[in-house]
Amino acid sequence: MIKKTPIALAALLLAIGTATLALTPTLALAETPPVATAKQESVRAEMGKPFTEIQTLITSKDYPQALTKLDAIEAFENKTPYELFAIARMRAVIASSMGDNEMLAKAFDSMIKSDFITAADKIKYTEGMAGTFYNEKKYDQSKQWTIRALALNKDSVAMRDLLARTMYLQNDYTGAITELNKQLQEDALANRVPTHEKLHLLISCYLKLKDNVGYASVLERMVEFYPKKEYWGDLLYRLPNKPGFSDRLRLDWYRLMLATDNMEEAAQYVEMTELALLAGLPTEAKKVTDAGYAANMLGAGKDAAKHKQLRDKVNKQAADDAKTLDAGETAAKAAKNGVGMVNMGYNYVTLGQAEKGIELIEQGIAKGGLKAPEEAKLHLGMAYLQAGNKAKATEVMKSLKATDGSADLGKLWLFVRKE
């Protein structure tokens, strides 16, 4: 929302200016009015009295009469550039006092084109009109003045934001997207966090155009900078439907769902638990069922007995696994390929031994023979995150290039914030 432009303040400043008009003495022998140079800041003497009367009328709020007298002054012939400026300035005061923004815009336009106000004032008046017309919902005029303001000050954050909003309200979603993405690129280069309002406007543009790819790209930025549960949920529920996403990564998808508090029903906890068991990760399966019970999703309702059976099974397998870790590690290292070492390494990560897990995963990747090397690298990056090494995790995750969903998951893991 644009704050209303302080036109009343502008009028006050203008009124002060009109009170100090310099007068050019009347030349007794001259029948034609003196011609002022661009630097001459004075009006002919016969204009002095009408200007003073106009100021008095403005003070008494008799604006129609003030306009009548100003029109009479404007009828003078051979007006100098400064006299034209002085008339426009007085008209701006009257227009502002009357709340007539169309008249004010014309007066400001004349003043801005003159040589008698500073560059800073030109910017101020131009931006003021852009904001004023925006608040009046006159978006065509607002856009015109906004573009003029940007021509005077291309780096104005307020005007660039206003331009994007105006385009949106004119249904120019493509134009708004182009402008907003330029701003986001500049934010990234300057290492600035984009505003929530900017991202929200961009996501609305993509929604209007039914551009799901663009919409998802902004959701990624939302979860990066403003990681609300709702944004995470919206983004994650779209991911499995992305073309090429592999069912093999469903457990990894659930891991992100759990980490962002987006598990919404008991069936999700049950499926994730079963997937963890199939992956040979009973300790992780135990953590999932425990989380399900803590969230009151498991252990209640008509399937409470089934949930208990699952929990008992998980607890037993986790206890048995703890007894055979050394033997499992030895067997994995003796295998011809690195699959077992990668799996065993991530098992250690689930047990809270991230450093040991990292070592085994790296050795497994180096050994080769993996059916899904990108998945192994994904788990390596997750292990580094678990170990608190964000720099190394970022390096690994950014190296992921596969289109099976592993690269998407890796990028999103870098946005997950630990409480």
- Stretch among 26-30, 151-155, 280-284 having the lowest mean pLDDT: 26-30
First-to-last alpha carbon distance for the chain, in angstroms, is: 33
At 16, the pLDDT band (50, 70, 90 cuts) reads very low
Task: Write the DSSP symbol of residue 324.
Answer: T
CA distance 24 to 177: 54
Q: Which two tokens stand for residue 217?
A: 């790209």
Q: How many CB atoms lie within 10 A of CB 69?
A: 18
Q: What is the mean pLDDT of residues 360-385?
A: 95
CA distance 33 to 53: 21
At 214, the pLDDT band (50, 70, 90 cuts) reads very high
Using DSSP's 3-state secondary structure scheme, residue 137 falls into coil
| Per-residue exposure over 186-212, b if at least 16 CB sit within 10 Å of its own CB, e if not | ebeeeeeebeeebbebbbebbeeeebe
| Per-residue exposure over 244-255, b if at least 16 CB sit within 10 Å of its own CB, e if not | ebbeebebbbbb
CA distance 386 to 351: 11
Helix-strand-coil split of the chain, %, nearest 5: 70, 0, 30
pLDDT tens-place string over residues 115-146: 888 899 889 888 988 988 898 898 999 999 99
Burial class (CB in 10 A: 0-12, 13-18, 19+), 65: middle
pLDDT tens-place string over residues 260-309: 999 999 999 999 999 999 999 999 999 999 999 999 999 998 999 999 99
Going by C-beta distance under 8 Å and a sequence separation of 6 or more, which residues neighbour residue 90?
14, 18, 51, 54, 70
Going by C-beta distance under 8 Å and a sequence separation of 6 or more, which residues neighbour residue 7?
96, 101, 104, 128, 132
| pLDDT mean across residues, the chain | 87
Q: What is the mean pLDDT of residues 346-368?
A: 94
Helix axes 81-98 and 7-18, enclosed angle (nearest 10): 140
- Looking at the whole model, is its pTM more than 0.85? no
Task: Write the DSSP symbol of residue 116.
Answer: S
CA distance 211 to 7: 40
152: part of which helix (H) or strand (E)? helix 139-152
- Is the pLDDT reported for residue 21 higher than 80? no
115-120 contact pairs (CB < 8 A, 24+): 115/38, 115/39, 115/81, 116/41, 116/81, 116/82, 116/85, 117/85, 119/152
- Is the pLDDT reported for residue 222 higher than 50? yes
CA torsion angle for 169, 172, 175, 181 (degrees, to 10)?
A: 50
- Is the pLDDT reported for residue 9 higher than 90? no
At 44, the pLDDT band (50, 70, 90 cuts) reads confident
CA distance 229 to 389: 24
CA distance 60 to 325: 93
- Is the pLDDT reported for residue 345 higher than 50? yes
CA distance 38 to 58: 28
- Is the pLDDT reported for residue 418 higher than 70? no
- Is the pLDDT reported for residue 15 higher than 50? no
- Stretch among 32-41, 166-175, 317-326 having the lowest mean pLDDT: 32-41
359: part of which helix (H) or strand (E)? helix 354-367
- Is the pLDDT reported for residue 108 higher than 90? no
**216 touches 202 (CB < 8 A):** no
Helix axes 390-398 and 373-386, enclosed angle (nearest 10): 160
- The amino acid occupying position 389 is N
